[in-house]
Amino acid sequence: MLCGPIKVLVVEHSPFVRSTVGRELNAQDGITVVGEAKDAFEARDLIIQYRPDVIILDTALPRVDGLTFLAKLMEHYPVPVIVCADPATDHRQAALDAIDQGATEVVVKPPVNDRAALQRLAQELILKVRAAAVALRRPPPIPVSATAEPVSLRSVGLNPARYVVAIGASTGGTDALRHLLSRVPSDFPPVVIVQHMPEGFTGLFANRLNDSSPIEVREAKDGDLLTPGLALLARGGIQMTVRGRVGSCRIACGSREEVNRHCPSVDVLFHSVAKHIGKSAIGILLTGMGADGAEGLLAMHNAGAVTIGQNQGSCVVYGMPKVAADLGAVQITTAPADVPKRVVEALLARSAAGTNTRS
């Protein structure tokens, strides 16, 4: 638990971005920018002097690149890090590498000469700094129980085409999703996912998830058909819903308007799943700051779906699933890697009861 204002260090090679972000953050109640560094060497000295609570890190630093600095940082001073990335493809890849190395969040820098966009970036960073400040400094370990082999649905008499799995995640969700999707059987029901992530990153992130999962994972497109063994990740910057009924359900990409400060929003997806899939759905809400997805998971619960929330001990930020649990929306609480097993158990229990309705 932090005492006093959140101490922030800004590590950014551009003087204008550095000063703009620092000024806006410093103007906020409860946030103090303790230093601004143009490279890793200045950052190291400021870390020793001020012991910041959150670091905003540019991946394209001079002399020592941001990824190399981050690796050393996580080894010697593990602290929540928000990565500020350029929109170019190679920098987006570096930002995702940074997430793999322990960074908490990623944002995209606009062109330096776009003052209005830089102001919007600073406002976004204010929210992410507050979220990062309550994040765990070290990711929780994978539970031992997750080492069991995933159970094929068809081998236990379940038809995966009769269900749809909807997942929402935010801060810490990239790692949680990787653990979850690496444990699913190849005949897992169709999966739709919202992970809060900037536009331009979700396709690359989907490819990374695909590399570690027995099922196909890719970025969703309007009109995509949901089929067993396929996971579709909402594209950054556009709302995603489902339409149709289980067995013939398709993706619908909608507006760019933010809901709960997010686009895509977990609530938008979950409410559509509650409406169209109802009792044949499984809703899963993972780690994240705020409340996005909590009301939607409650709607799924009320429609008869199986609902799962990530447990506090495995969350980087126990925010979204806690709000859902407080609303009474969560039936099952578990760690991400155990989710596939718990899904199969819940569906078997319903099958044994001879009903697909909520018990």
CA 163/CA 282 separation, integer angstroms: 7
Among 74-88, 209-223, 299-313, 323-337, which stretch is predicted with the lowest mean pLDDT?
74-88
- Return the pLDDT at 142: 53
- Regarding whether 215 and 103 lie in a shared domain, the answer is no
Is 359 domain-assigned?
no
pLDDT top residue among 188 and 356 = 188
**Based on the domain organization, do 280 and 324 belong to the same domain?**
yes
Boundary of a domain, candidates 111, 133, 155: 133
pLDDT bin (cut points 50, 70, 90) of residue 59 is: confident
From the list 39, 224, 292, 338, the catalytic residue is: 292
| Same domain? 180 vs 316 | yes
Question: Are 324 and 197 found together in one domain?
Answer: yes
173 inside domain: yes
Per-residue confidence band for 359, with pLDDT thresholds at 50, 70 and 90: very low
Residue 162 lies in a domain: yes
- Token pair recorded at residue 4: 């006093």
Same structural domain, 121 and 160: no
Please confirm, yes or no, whether 91 is among the known catalytic residues: no
Listed residues 71, 101, 133: the one ending a domain = 133
| Residue 344: partners with Cβ closer than 8 Å, 6 or more residues away | 151, 153, 156, 158, 185
How many other CB atoms sit within 10 Å of the CB of residue 113?
Answer: 8
Which pLDDT belongs to residue 150? Answer: 80
Residues 195 and 344 in one domain: yes
- Do 265 and 128 share a structural domain? no
pLDDT tens, 68-83? 999 999 999 999 999 9
| Residue 129 confidence (pLDDT) | 93
CATH code: domain of residue 75: 3.40.50.2300
The stretch 180-203 carries a mean pLDDT of: 95
Please tell me which residue in 196, 262, 271, 276 is annotated as part of the active site.
196
What mean pLDDT do residues 175-200 have?
Answer: 95
Share of the chain above pLDDT 70, in %: 94
| Phi, psi torsion values for 339, nearest 5 degrees | -60, -50
Question: Within this chain, do residues 197 and 247 fall inside the same structural domain, yes or no?
Answer: yes
Residue 256 domain-assigned (yes or no): yes
Q: Which pLDDT tens digit goes with each residue over 127-182?
A: 889 988 888 665 555 555 655 578 899 999 999 999 999 999 999 999 999 999 99
| Residues 241 and 199 both lie in one domain | yes
End-of-domain residue from the set 133, 166, 186:
133
Mean pLDDT of the 110-134 span: 86
Q: If pLDDT is split at 50, 70 and 90, which confidence band does 50 have?
A: very high
What is the pLDDT, as a whole number, of residue 352? 84
346 pLDDT higher than 90: yes
**Do 79 and 165 fall within a single domain?**
no
53, 58, 170, 267: the catalytic one is 170
Look at 119-123, 183-187, 310-314 and tell me which has the smallest mean pLDDT.
119-123
Structure confidence at residue 141 (pLDDT): 59
Residue 357 scores a pLDDT above 50: no
Listed residue (357, 351, 251, 253) closest to 304, CA to CA: 357
Task: Assess if residue 228 is contained within a domain.
Answer: yes
pLDDT at 235 over 90: yes
275-292 confidence digits (pLDDT tens): 999 999 999 999 998 999
- Domain holding 109, by residue range, is 6-133
pTM score of the predicted model: 0.91
Query: Is residue 351 annotated as a catalytic residue, yes or no?
Result: no
187: annotated active-site residue:
no
What is the average pLDDT across 210-233? 98
Residue 254: CA count within 13 A, CB half-sphere: 17
Within a domain: residue 140?
A: no
**Residue 139 resides in a domain:** no
- Degrees, nearest 5: CA angle 192-198-204: 65
pLDDT number for residue 119: 85
The verdict on 65 and 154 lying in the same domain is no
Q: How many domains does the chain have?
A: 2
* Structural domain contains residue 141: no
- At 166 the pLDDT is 98
User: What pLDDT does 355 receive?
Assistant: 56
pLDDT band at residue 358, thresholds of 50, 70 and 90?
Answer: very low
Taking a C-beta distance cutoff of 8 angstroms, is the pair 191, 224 a contact?
A: no
Average pLDDT, the chain: 91
Question: Would you tell me how many other CB atoms lie within 10 Å of the CB of residue 212?
Answer: 12
CATH number of the domain residue 231 falls in:
3.40.50.180
3-state SS of 138-156 is CCCCCCHHHHCCCCCCHHH
Q: Are residues 117 and 173 in the same domain?
A: no
